[in-house]
Structure 1
């Protein structure tokens, strides 16, 4: 509703519908009552958006924002698919797995978190596209990377991002002492 995409997507000429929703607090909190209310209201709002848009399939990749959309679509009998990109399944995908048609996983460890009959090992679709990437000239130029040094790229997402970022920041003094260069990606 207030995210970066609320500015970026419309400026690219792509229509965007938003919902008001929030994630659960991990500790006991009265705020979670509001979360349940917003989820139920968002499911109602999503059903209207889905009726207007008429999708053939709805795909979710985890996170509380997609929860209401995928749940609404599943209740409307629209084919649904969720994709778990972590080795440990997230709360939203665990919840949605009971209602969706199929669950794609990237790591075999995640299989145990979902109904066996729904699981398909897909891997991470993006990984295969970049694995054989040869032309790094643009990156070398943009980030002033040297061709004669090995490059270490540090990035993380989801639950691991904060820990990876903290460890990388702590290691900065060590990076300067090594014969390699570091590209540190944060979000």
Structure 2
């Protein structure tokens, strides 16, 4: 770790540069332009902070502090990971909504069609299967809660059943009371 051999310096108002050397290697000396507060990376191991203190007199004092670089902050890493997951989950949820929307639109078209045939439900069943697959994958990786996935699959099945009942292709069995 490099240390700075610098103490309180009194700078006249006309002096605008400051030269510092490290105890690690004299070749690592650096000049700075002086202003109110300077923070500059000087050493490979850390950062040098220069700040001015104004006393009651006209003179300005300079405080030099050298601190080692902090290790990668775990909170920053968590934020990066959370952003990656957010983008990934957003894409997966969008795909689920798109697949559901396609199925529901096709079912609406089929329900409004007066002379629909039972064979016309087969392509929609294929779309429903693809939607179920996407929903199951989203639940598997944790993007959707399992109850949410089950509710969405149930909604698609109920809509399909409603279309089949509407056209008379399916007659529900009467409820048997026990």
Which fold has the larger relative contact order, with Cα–Cα distance below 8 Å and residues 6 or more apart in sequence?
A: 2
Structure 2 length as normaliser, TM-score?
A: 0.25
Whose strand proportion is higher, 1 or 2?
2
Higher Rg? 2
Structure 1 length as normaliser, TM-score?
A: 0.24
